[in-house]
Amino acid sequence: MSGSGTGRAPDDLFLKIIAGEVPATIVHADDLVVAFEDVDPQAPVHVLVVPRERHETVAALAAAAPATLARLVEVAQRIADERCGGHFRLVFNTGEDVGQSVFHVHGHVLGGRGFTWPPG
């Protein structure tokens, strides 16, 4: 699948953040994932949790590296536990039509306010 590879894509913004080439407020880093504040927060808590390896979508990540996806979810929960009482949305925009703009999978950890359902 295109984009599932782990090779470095020169235009991958999140690889540049992970490498320290683009500044970001890093809130967590381990051997599998890095988390940083979203530059355009949509809620009081808005953190992106990103695998170090580049996979385009959450399904590609699940197929190629399920332990990394599990770590991503664990870190998301930990951030929500620390910042917003464990209540959060974990969003993976998948595809341009629903708003994916960076094609390096990332979980949006959103919390700290009420959310409507259905989502907009």
Q: Which residue has the tokens 């209540």?
A: 87
Q: Does residue 106 carry a catalytic annotation?
A: yes
90 binds ligand AMP (CB under 6 A): no
How many whole angstroms from its chain centre is CA 54? 11
Residue 111 phi/psi, 5-degree rounding, is -170, -175
59 binds ligand AMP (CB under 6 A): no
Q: Which part of the chain contacts ligand AMP (CB under 6 A), choosing from 35-43, 57-65, 72-80, 110-118?
A: 35-43
4 binds ligand AMP (CB under 6 A): no
- Rounded to a whole number of angstroms, the minimum distance from the CB of residue 48 to ligand AMP is 6
99 binds ligand AMP (CB under 6 A): yes
38 binds ligand AMP (CB under 6 A): yes
3-state secondary structure labels for all residues of 49-63? EEECCCCCCHHHHHH
39 binds ligand AMP (CB under 6 A): yes
Q: Given 46, 55, 104, 106, which residue is catalytic?
A: 106
Interacting residues with ligand AMP (CB under 6 A)? 13, 22, 24, 36, 38-40, 48, 93, 99-102
**Which residues are known to be catalytic?**
106
